[in-house]
A and B are shown apart, each in its own frame.
Chain A
Amino acid sequence: MSYRGDETTGFQSPAQDYVEPVIDLPALLDLRQPGLYPVRVVGQQLRSRGIHAGDILIANAAADPIEGKVCVAFLHGEVILATLVRKGDAWLLSPSTGEPQPVTDEVEIWAMIQALVRMKV
């Protein structure tokens, strides 16, 4: 049996009518949205952005690109994290190492990073 602070056997709990469920983090992340893909970080090149090796990032493929945000990109056959840079009407992808690259057939914004889960701090 589980006790939630309400059903006591001796003295009636004053909290009986005030019980609320525990905080539901999965509901907050809502991974059932069709555009959300959790991904795992390797490499420490984005520590300055607060992204560490081993972090789980929640990537959102339904989100629009925003200047300065980090995204998951397909870049010449690699899956990398890159920062979005705007140049006129075009988007550039700036990887943590190397030159910014214009978005083309071979350089694709896969999804925008919208949240981070770190199980060990």
Chain B
Amino acid sequence: MFALIDGNSFYCSCERAFDPKLRDKPIVVLSNNDGCVIARTQEAKDLGLKMGEPWHLASKRPELKPVICKSSNYVLYGDMSRRMFDVLSSMTPAVEPYSIDEMFLDFTGLPGDLVARSVELRAAVRRIAKIPTCVGIGPTKTLAKLANKLAKGDRAGSGVVDLSDSEYRHERFANVPMSEVWGMGRASVAKLDKLGVGTVADFIALPSDSVRDLLTVTGQRTHAELRGMACYGFNEGPQTRKSIACTRSFGRAITEWEEMREAIASYTTRAAEKLRRHSLFAGAMQVFMRTNEFNNDPKYANSATFEVEATADSFALIGAATGAARRLWRQGYRYAKAGIILLDLYQRDDLPVGDLFATRDPGRSQSLMTALDAINGRFGRETVRSASVGYQRGWSMRRGNLSPCYTTRIGDILVVKA
């Protein structure tokens, strides 16, 4: 038995935790560089604000005047996520942090009423980690995730939905669209829709074999999970990672190659760290850069996708990325955004064996990268870095309405009036 606990409008709730003036107000949190809406409170949703709306357009709509916007503060959100995890760990035997705002709980073999337990967990997370949540319970991860969505959708409800009873599931599933289901991409939902399969009830009525023919083995697993047969254990899920991206809009337009090179090197460093954290190797990458789409600057956008010798080595990847960026670079434009995407990701076991033409000593590269990650893990990000990453960082993010890092910086802690 699983539960999924999920923070309501998590980023907004982190902001509210330290500022009573934000109570009951419509709040949004903006993406890096204050670009788009990435989190909304219920009050903001009720005003018609959509996820992903560019804020510079939305903020001009008169009905959105009362909306308070915040720059994203991942230092704060990361620490609040840690608090949520710690509270849950102190009350349940196994917690899996699935994302910054969602944790799976292993409810297998726990005594007592699971709904009552969930109510207690919610209350503790609200009181101690300051985050309001919803909980979904189900015999499989996919059902727990779906139960959580139903709990979120029912605003008058108790915040807990239990889908462990199969009769109750059948009752509800006639009204649940397939787009609500974990791991169902837009393409799969469209494919099913064409066949007249719109709801979860329709979907689970299909024979398992035809689901596999239609949606491959991942879809077949989702199908089994929705029928109550667990395919994913703790720390497992439907999607495998297909790419790792690090892309940003610049705080101000970049006009010099030197700055672009530093930005690309820095993004590649970040992506390569992520690659190694997942013990993966990249066999291809994409580099892109472009000017602002919205203003009157002369337009230029270009990208290059190319294969690299499968590697997880920061220096190899930086070399390839900056080389490609140099070929894309056209002097005289004002660049607003750039990024790199690592593609064709391998597990170690799937690597082509004994590459005769390898130009790097894999053993040496690996021990260098292990040392690099250990130093940066211990002494802080970018303590040791490639010199190409640079030292100036004039291109770093714009964050106009950033809240304090209340919980991690002594100069930023909450001020209380005696």
- What residues of B have a CB within 8 angstroms of the CB of A51 in the complex? 418
Give chain B nearest CB distance to A108 CB in angstroms: 8
- What residues of B have a CB within 8 angstroms of the CB of A66 in the complex? none
- What residues of A have a CB within 8 angstroms of the CB of B410 in the complex? 38, 56
Q: How far is the CA of A7 from the CA of B248 in the complex (A)?
A: 53
Is the pair A46, B415 in contact by a Cβ cutoff of 8 Å? no
Is the pair A80, B128 in contact by a Cβ cutoff of 8 Å? no
Is the pair B128, A81 in contact by a Cβ cutoff of 8 Å? no
Asked if A26 CB lies within 8 Å of chain B CBs, one says no
Q: Which of B47-55, B80-88, B209-217 interfaces with chain A? A: B80-88
Is the pair B20, A40 in contact by a Cβ cutoff of 8 Å? no
Asked if A29 CB lies within 8 Å of chain B CBs, one says no
B20: contacting residue among A33, A43, A79, CB under 8 A: A79
A42: contacting residue among B83, B127, B416, CB under 8 A: B416
Is the pair B416, A40 in contact by a Cβ cutoff of 8 Å? yes
Q: How far is the CA of A37 from the CA of B87 in the complex (A)?
A: 14
Q: How far is the CA of A81 from the CA of B414 in the complex (A)?
A: 12
Near A by CB (< 8 A), chain B positions 91-148 give 127-130
Q: Residues 40-58 of chain A: 1 if any B CB is under 8 Å from the residue's CB, otherwise 0?
A: 1111111000010100110
Is the pair A40, B128 in contact by a Cβ cutoff of 8 Å? no
Q: How far is the CA of A56 from the CA of B129 in the complex (A)?
A: 20
Is the pair B418, A37 in contact by a Cβ cutoff of 8 Å? no
- What residues of A have a CB within 8 angstroms of the CB of B83 in the complex? 34-35
Is the pair B414, A43 in contact by a Cβ cutoff of 8 Å? no
Q: Residues 251-265 of chain B: 1 if any A CB is under 8 Å from the residue's CB, otherwise 0?
A: 000000000000000
Q: Residues 396-418 of chain B: 1 if any A CB is under 8 Å from the residue's CB, otherwise 0?
A: 00000000001100100111111
- What residues of B have a CB within 8 angstroms of the CB of A24 in the complex? none
Is the pair A35, B128 in contact by a Cβ cutoff of 8 Å? yes
- What residues of A have a CB within 8 angstroms of the CB of B416 in the complex? 39-42, 57, 72, 79-81
Interface residues of A, CB < 8 Å — how many? 32
A39: contacting residue among B23, B127, B415, CB under 8 A: B415
Is the pair A38, B20 in contact by a Cβ cutoff of 8 Å? no
Asked if B21 CB lies within 8 Å of chain A CBs, one says yes
Pick the most buried of B83, B130, B414: most chain A CB atoms within 10 A of its CB: B414
- What residues of B have a CB within 8 angstroms of the CB of A41 in the complex? 415-416, 418
Is the pair A77, B418 in contact by a Cβ cutoff of 8 Å? no
A81: contacting residue among B84, B87, B406, B418, CB under 8 A: B418
- What residues of A have a CB within 8 angstroms of the CB of B129 in the complex? 34-35, 61
Give chain B nearest CB distance to A10 CB in angstroms: 36
A34: contacting residue among B128, B406, B418, CB under 8 A: B128
Near A by CB (< 8 A), chain B positions 372-418 give 406-407, 410, 413-418
B417: contacting residue among A35, A61, A62, A79, CB under 8 A: A79
Give chain A nearest CB distance to B26 CB in angstroms: 16
- What residues of A have a CB within 8 angstroms of the CB of B413 in the complex? 37-40, 56
- Among residues of B, the one whose C-beta sits closest to the C-beta of A53 is B418
Asked if A16 CB lies within 8 Å of chain B CBs, one says no
Q: A34-B83, A40-B414 are in contact. Are A78 and B20 (CB under 8 A)?
A: yes
Chain B interface residues toward A at CB < 8 A: 18, 20-21, 23, 82-84, 86-87, 90, 127-130, 406-407, 410, 413-418
Which 10 residue pairs are nearest across A and B when measured between Cβ atoms? A34-B86, A74-B20, A43-B418, A34-B83, A46-B418, A35-B128, A45-B418, A39-B414, A62-B128, A80-B417
